[in-house]
Amino acid sequence: MNVLLTNIKELLQIRDASTHLLKGSEMKHLPTLKNAWLLIEDDTIVDFGSMMAQPEGNIDKTIDCSGKIVLPSWCDSHTHIVFAGNREQEFVDRINGLTYQEIALKGGGILNSAEKLQLTSEDDLFAQSAQRLEEVMKLGTGAIEIKSGYGLTTEAELKMLRVAKRLGQTYPVTVRTTFLGAHALPKEFTNKKDDYVDLICNEMLPAVASENLADYVDVFCEEGYFSVKDTDKILSAASKYGLTPKIHVNQFNSIGGVAVGVKHNALSVDHLEIVSDDDIRELQHSNTIAVALPACSFFLSIPYTPGRALIDAGIPLAIATDFNPGSSPTGNMNFVLAAACIKMKLTPEEAINAATINAAHAMGLSHTHGSITKGKKANLIITKEIPSYGFLPYSFGSNYIEQVICNGELV
């Protein structure tokens, strides 16, 4: 089946096939075509151009995009969308003065989610997660990374990853999966962290690999969670199974997580709310992309990733939602786009690049996603009638998405 989009007010993020990553001043440029058409065949973008030279031939379906902007769907490269229940009481606890770390020390936080998930059946977990996925797809997300990490036992971690894989097989959205057994220390391993790290390396990782459940490996490298030494050990073990790192670093403290990520050739280092000069130098001499999570900063009232400084230092930057029940209970990439502009001082062009082509790179998908390129997946957002693409982050409280196409299908 082919679908023709016509009278597009402006077609955003037009790139040739060789562009997979933008950094520094490159992020300020967003190539567009006004008064355009775009042709989809099955799940692929096959051609586009000016309305002055509209394609001829049989068209199965035509969508009139008069007054509307068309751009690649968002790529959300950091989520924990597979979880059970919610943590709304902790939201109230924070309002009453407790910090994220204090809640965790009381047995809340990640351990709270792990307890709920361990008691939830795989089918129930799928149903809850599918509802969230359907919501974010309608908000424009066409590719998503999903982490484990709320299981903290071998059985529960595998259950999470199976659900994530099943979501990708059920819905017309591209899913990448990440094993995050090192998300928190289970209660039964209190004062026995080395034993839990050994369990991750010697039992969990082989089990994940044997079922081919993960594309990436992650570690929460932070004070009170997993040290640089722990992270180095887990990433070394994961390399034996071909799992590339995408790791949590510098959410609350800069303890050397960026350096260990770069050492292991991490695809991305995520969070980076606290960034030192040494961290910037490490990233400048690496192939690792920085991923900012501004919705988490908003929800926890912690510093925002210094996106302006990172871009000005020539470091590639992506943005993602961090959708999870405790620190970022939203999968709305449109809000993330606005927060990146408002709080991190990105221009609309930089933010859109960070949420599309660079975000695709941060999940290993920039050869198929993230831009309007012939041969790439037909993952598209069609806006409502708006004056310009800058209106999207400007009008952050409204939804100006009219239609979403994922892998050639209207969702």
DSSP 73-108: PEEE--B-----S--HHHHHHHHTT--HHHHHHTT-
Amino acid at 150: Y
The annotation status of 327 as a binding-site residue, yes or no, is yes
285 is in an annotated binding site: no
- Beta strands (DSSP E) in 265-311 are 268-271, 289-292
Please list the residues that pair with 11 across neighbouring strands. Answer: 33, 70
Asked if 346 and 382 touch (Cβ cutoff 8 Å), the reply is no
Residue with the two structure tokens 């993602």: 320
Strand, helix or coil for residue 240 = coil
Q: Is 271 one of the annotated binding-site residues?
A: no
CA 410 to chain centre: 21
Determine the pLDDT at residue 88. 83
Least Cα distance to 384 among 147, 83, 68 occurs for 68
Q: Is 150 annotated as a binding residue?
A: yes
One digit per residue, the tens of pLDDT, for the chain of length 411 reads 899 999 999 999 999 999 999 999 999 999 999 999 999 999 999 999 999 988 878 889 999 999 999 999 999 999 999 999 888 888 888 888 888 778 777 767 888 889 999 999 999 999 999 999 999 999 999 999 999 999 999 999 999 999 999 999 999 999 999 999 999 999 999 999 999 999 999 999 999 999 999 999 999 999 999 999 999 999 999 999 999 999 999 999 999 999 999 999 999 999 999 999 999 999 999 999 999 999 999 999 999 999 999 999 999 999 999 999 999 999 999 999 999 999 999 999 999 999 999 999 999 999 999 999 999 999 999 999 999 999 999 999 999 999 999 999 999
Q: Binding site annotation covers 367? A: no
Q: How far apart are CA 385 and CA 294, in angstroms?
A: 27
Alpha helix (H) residue ranges in 301-388:
307-312, 333-344, 348-355, 357-361
101 marked among binding-site residues? no
* 80 in a known ligand binding site: yes
Q: Is 15 marked as a binding-site residue?
A: no
Question: In what order do the strands lie in the sheet containing 317-319?
Answer: 74-76, 141-147, 174-182, 216-221, 244-249, 268-271, 289-292, 317-319
Residue 276's pLDDT is 97
Pair 178, 153: CB distance under 8 Å: no
Q: Which domains does the chain have, with CATH numbers?
A: 2-72+371-410 (2.30.40.10), 74-363 (3.20.20.140)
DSSP-assigned beta bridge partners for residue 100: none
Q: What is the DSSP letter of 57?
A: S
Q: Is 198 annotated as a binding residue?
A: no
pLDDT of residue 104: 76
- Strand-pairing partners, residue 249, are 221, 271
DSSP string spanning 166-182? HHHHHSSSEEEEEEEEE
Cα separations in angstroms, 303 against 272, 297, 307, 334: 9, 6, 11, 20
- Return the ∠ at Cα 275 (arms to 273 and 276), rounded to 5°: 160
